Amino acid sequence: MTQSLALTQGDPAGIGPEIALKAWMAREAAGLAPFFLIGDPDLLARRAERFGLPVPLQPCAPAEAAAVFARALPVVPLPMATQAEPGRPDPATAPATLASIETAVGLVRAGRAEAVVTNPIAKHVLYAAGFRHPGHTEYLASLAADPDGAAPRPVMLLWSDLLAVVPVTIHVPLRAVPDLLTADLVVETARIVDRDLRTRFRIARPRLVLAGLNPHAGEAGSIGTEDRDVLEPAVARLLREGIDIRGPLSADTLFHARARAGYDVALAPTHDQALIPIKTLAFDEGVNVTLGLPFLRTSPDHGTAFDIAAAGIAKADSLIAALRLAGRLTRP
């Protein structure tokens, strides 16, 4: 039996339903593996009609999706209808959004789907409905908790053919970074990156680099001491463990083409140090990959785009890239 990728609906008022339809339309040209969408078939039908997208839909079970995929977009229906207008986020849709994610994770963990591919969600919409997790990634980690309730430590990788980056600290204010940036955090993050690059990306010996926190990586402590006192000891520990890593290196010379040829993934102390270069180089093709989970999860590297959700002009490139990467990484 051929398994498929499980695609979540995302926030139904965002562009998720639209780009899912467009991704299916591009399935042959993009060489996509079979996928099914977990959501409301009626919502998808309304969105297809509104935007003039000739996509046949077929509700089915996950096991039937691969056989359906060539002729229609397989939809695994949720047990609730979803009433949402594009561009008008509504906390009343939060249960359907979360049910789609929970179903996808459950199917993959049960061996009934190959990987989870998530459409964008809006945290503020979920918060208004009582959502208690900091974000999408942390919620996925909680769904992967073991029977004792211990959740894995997720790491966010932004991947493209041109550049792959990992922010060591993510959605925190810049003024909080020096206190959060410990040698233990850097070491734990790099270990997860190294392990998943070996097991999921099949890179025999991953080459990592670590960007400095301060300008010129601190210039031996003359421009801030974090690089000398925190990052250098972390790199030394990782080298002793046999992990191929260099740094801390000045972030302003780490992302040009010649520098990128010397590593597989760049770790950066702050969110923007990592995401600005990849979104500059590969805004439409970047993929968010969650490392550290017991299953593969990929996602577009953009949000719900409520501002254009009603216009029918959303590009599906990043979702297509996420589906393509998930298919590639799950092939034998």
Going by C-alpha positions, the residue among 117, 144, 135 that lies closest to residue 288 is 117
C-alpha–C-alpha distance, residues 68 and 55, integer Å: 13
Please choose, from the candidates 225, 272, 266, 230, the residue with its C-alpha nearest in 3D space to the C-alpha of residue 245.
266
Task: Please state the residue numbers annotated as binding site.
Answer: 136-137, 171, 216, 271, 279, 288, 297
Place of tokens 């409301």: 40
All residues at 6 or more sequence positions from 222 whose CB lies less than 8 Å from its CB, including other chains: none
| Of 265, 230, 271, the residue nearest 246 (C-alpha) | 265
Quickly count: other Cβ atoms within 10 Å of residue 98's Cβ: 18
**With the CA atoms of 168, 106, 4 and 75 taken in that order, what torsion angle do they form, in degrees rounded to the nearest 10?**
-110
Q: How many CB atoms lie within 10 A of CB 295?
A: 19
Q: Containing H/E element for 280?
A: helix 271-281
* Residue numbers belonging to the annotated binding site for substrate: 136-137, 279, 288, 297
Pairing of β 164-167 and β 35-39: unpaired
Cα distance between residue 183 and residue 132, in whole Å: 28
Q: Angle at CA 153, nearest 5°, toward 267 and 156?
A: 40
Strands in 160-264 per DSSP E = 164-167, 207-211, 244-249
- DSSP 8-state class, residue 181: -
Give me the half-sphere count of Cα atoms (radius 13 Å) on the Cβ side of residue 164.
23
Binding residues for a divalent metal cation: 171, 216, 271
